[in-house]
Structures are given as C-alpha cells and as structure tokens.
Amino acid sequence: MASNNNNNIKIHETLKVVPPSLSTQTTTTTTIPLTFLDICWLRFHPVERLFFYTLPSSQSSPSFFFQIIVPNLKSSLSLTLQHFLPLAGKIIWPLDSSKPFIHFNPNDDDHGVSLLIAESDLDFNHLIQNSPKEVSLSRSFIPVLESTDLFASIVSIQITLFPKQGFSIGISTHHAVLDGKSSTMFIKAWAYLCKNIIETEESPILLPELEPLLDREIIKDRDGLSDTLTNNWVNVISKMFPNEKGNEKSLKIFPFEPKLEDYVRATFELKREDLNKIKESVLSKWELFNTKESKPESLSSFVLTCAYSLVCVAKAIQEIQNEKEKFAFLFTIDCRARLEPPIPNNYFGNCVLGLLVNTQPSDFIDEDGVFLVANCIHEKIKMINENDVLEGAKDEPNKFKSMMNEGYEIIGVAGSNRFEVYESDFGWGRPKKVEIVSIDRGLTIGLAESKDRRGGIEVGIVLDKHVMDVFSTLFLKGINL
C-alpha cells in the first residue's frame, strides 16, 4: 500500500521483483556483513527520493503506460538486481548472532524488492513546481519500507502514473545498507539498463562505473574504533526515542515522523552566477576577521550553498521563534578516498561519517553569518582531509548529544550536487524534478545539481509555512542584492 491513505491514489498492482537468476530456483543463500559504517544507521529513517518524468501525450495514456512502460521498468529492475543482489534480501539479526547482517535466500518467497504500481489524478505540473506546496503531496508517491523487530526490508519502489502528463518513481532505501552515492548508483544502473533495453531490445552490459563493489571486507576496523563509533551513534539515536527501549536487537526503524501539519515543501536554486557572488562576498571578508588560516583561493559549491542556505534557515526560524538562538550544522562526508587504503569509488554500502561543524551557536544569525559558517565548514573539511578521518569523527556523537541537551537546533544536509540525479534517464528523457522527500523527517536541506547542467545547485527544504515565508524572502533577497 502507499505510505498514506490519499484518496487521489489508485493502486493497480503490488508485487515483488526478483533477479532473473531466481527463476532457476538456485539454493544458494548469501549473507553479507554490515560494517561499522553501516550499523551507525541501523534504525535511522529511510532515505526517500522522488523522480518525476514528463511524457508526450501519445505515451502517457494508461494503456501505453501499463502495457509498454511498466513492463520495461519491471524487467530492467529485475536485471539490475542481478548486479545489486543485496537489495533483494533483508537485514536480519538472529538470536545467536552478535551483529545484524544482510541475508538473501533465493528460495524465500518474501525476498525481492517490493514494487507498487499506482495512478494519481493530482496535478502533475503543480507537483513539479519549485514553489511551496503541502508536504503531504509528495508523500503520496513514496512507498513504505517495511521494518519489524525481526527484519528490515532494504528497498521499496513505487511507480505512479499521472494520465496525459507523466509518471514518478519513488524509492525508499534503508540507510544501513547503502549511502547516497550507492543508492544513486543503483538508480543510474536501473535507468541505463532500461534505456538500453528500449533502444536495442537486448540485455546490455552494465557500464564499469555502475557495477557495484559488494565486498564489505575492505572496510577495516582499527583498535576497536568501530565499536566506539557505532555504540556512540546508536546511543544518540536511542536517546532521541526513549520510549522505544526494550529489545536491543530490534530492527524496527525509529519513528522519525514526517512534519506534515502546517509545513510546506519548496525548492530554491542557486545558479552558478549566484554562487560566484556568494563566494566573492565571503572571500572579501576573510582578511577582515582573525581567521586561523590564510584566505583560500576558492571555496567549493557545497560550502557556499550550505553556508548561505543554513544562515537563511536559522534567521527565518529565529525571526518566527524568538527563543531559538543556538544553531549547529551536521553533514556527512564521503570517506572512500579518505580511508587508508582508499576504497574504490564504486564501493556499494555506507562509506560516510557524520561531522559537526565547529561554529559558535550564534554564528548562523550573525550579520556576517554566511562568512562565519562558510569559514567553519571549509576549515572542518580541510582538517578532515589533512588528518585521519576516523580519528576525527570518533567524538562527534558525544558532541551531538551535548548540543541536543543544550537545546541547539541542529540542521542537517541530505544528497549532493555531485550525484547527478538529473542524469537518470530511463528512456523517456531526463527527470523534470527530483526531490529528497525524507528531508521532512527533520530539519534538513536537500541538495541536487541544477537540472540545466550549468553548474548551479538546487536546495530543497521543508519548513513551517510561516518560517518558509521568511526563508524565501531572505534567500531571494540575498542573491538579488
């Protein structure tokens, strides 16, 4: 079933998609361990993305969609799972095991990826607009990812037709099995195989960069650091949900409920010229402040986008909720190239760590907030690049817990402008809109590259509608000055 009871959704079919090799009923059972970088996310909420695709009128009729498009999506998904076999399994935690792991039994009727085929009469053009809209609208097109005390599904997908307009693909993924880079690799692989099947009517060979490296043994523990890091983050999340204590081996995802009532979702864009203006403004102030380091030659788009967006969020919240004055920023950093030895770029799993930026709590609402926050993000990344990434991250959970206890408003970030989500073409063109729906489960900004391929960045945000009004004014005013 869909993730809510929206009357505008009609369910046509629910099924499990399995790799094609399962038709032979092989008896080989596969188990894959979870590393400490995976287990940190064991009961974290799923990452939910939504891809909207427009269709010409000749291809958006229900008959064409259900007879041509859906079968192509199904068959190519099955072929893709042949390469990404863990996604067709489940996370389990047997009583006799000290740690949970991924389990795939091809003869288990309940294995495979849950796929829901639906239809909606909502206005497609309204849904893909950047302007604020009800948070609940996007949730209609995201499937539930099943989790219980005993097991957790890894991927769930919903394909929804908007007759005469287009369709959407909603995907919900378990964060303990794959990070953002890995989930994007899976989507791109599925899109690549689907598009090539349509064009050649043959089963294509997956591109090398889309072929996942599934060997989790290459993530090495060091002096028990993994247990410390894992236990600290698990304790932090557990303290956020004290009523969920009980079965310590439970795999049920903690209830990070979406913010729905009085909240709206919107997308804002920083074009390349906007980022250049922000960069010039930040760099011009570098020598006016007593910074520890000399002025950098440049600043990344990530640093500039986060600093600008975070300051707008904090100032908007502070204006509406006067008592909010302490803010912090938590972001994840890709460790693949930062571990020793480095991990290949196509490693499929979690290879990210959460890091807190060493800002002062009031920096975000300071007159020079964009400079102050950009400086601190830049310094944090530089420090991590010059030192041991694992050693630098081991104290982050305790810092996070202290900030929560002190009443900080901690802002996170999801996605990346480097994932190239707008290149996910299944054979009917590039996406018209991509959203990270799960940012509504916390105070988080969602990042993606601009779809016009000109170097800009899209910023997705979910806020109280009164806060959103102020945020929108601040965001647009700042880049138009």
What is the identity of the amino acid at 188? Answer: K
Long-range Cβ pairs for the range 466-471 (8 Å, 24+) = 466/320, 467/316, 467/317, 467/320, 467/321, 468/132, 468/264, 468/266, 468/316, 470/315, 470/316, 470/319, 470/320, 471/312, 471/313, 471/316
Q: Which of 334, 368, 388, 425 is catalytic?
A: 425
* 469 belongs to the catalytic site: no
| Residue 349 · residue 219 · CB < 8 Å | yes
| Residue 211 · residue 346 · CB < 8 Å | yes
Residue 341 preceded by cis peptide, ω within 30: yes
In 55-157, which ranges are continuous DSSP H helix?
Answer: 62-64, 70-83, 124-127, 135-139
| Residue 140 · residue 2 · CB < 8 Å | yes
- 3-state percent helix, strand, coil for the chain, nearest multiple of 5: 40, 20, 40
| Residue 189 · residue 79 · CB < 8 Å | no
Location of structure tokens 């997908």 = 157
What DSSP letter does each residue of 33-81 carry, written as one string?
Answer: EPPHHHHTTTTSPPEEEEEEEE--TTT-SHHHIIIIIHHHHHHHHHHHH
Secondary structure class of 143 (helix, strand, coil): strand
Phi first, then psi: give them for residue 69, nearest 5 degrees: -70, -50
Q: Dig out the tokens for 475 from the structure.
A: 């965001």
* 110 belongs to the catalytic site: no
User: For residue 71, how far is the Cα from the chain centroid?
Assistant: 27
Distance CA 459, CA 415 (A): 10
Distance CA 235, CA 231 (A): 6
Helix (H) or strand (E) holding 191: helix 180-200
Q: Phi-psi bin for 19: left (phi > 0), alpha (psi -120 to 50), beta?
A: beta
Q: Which of 103, 111, 175, 378 is catalytic?
A: 175
Q: What positions carry a catalytic annotation?
A: 175, 425
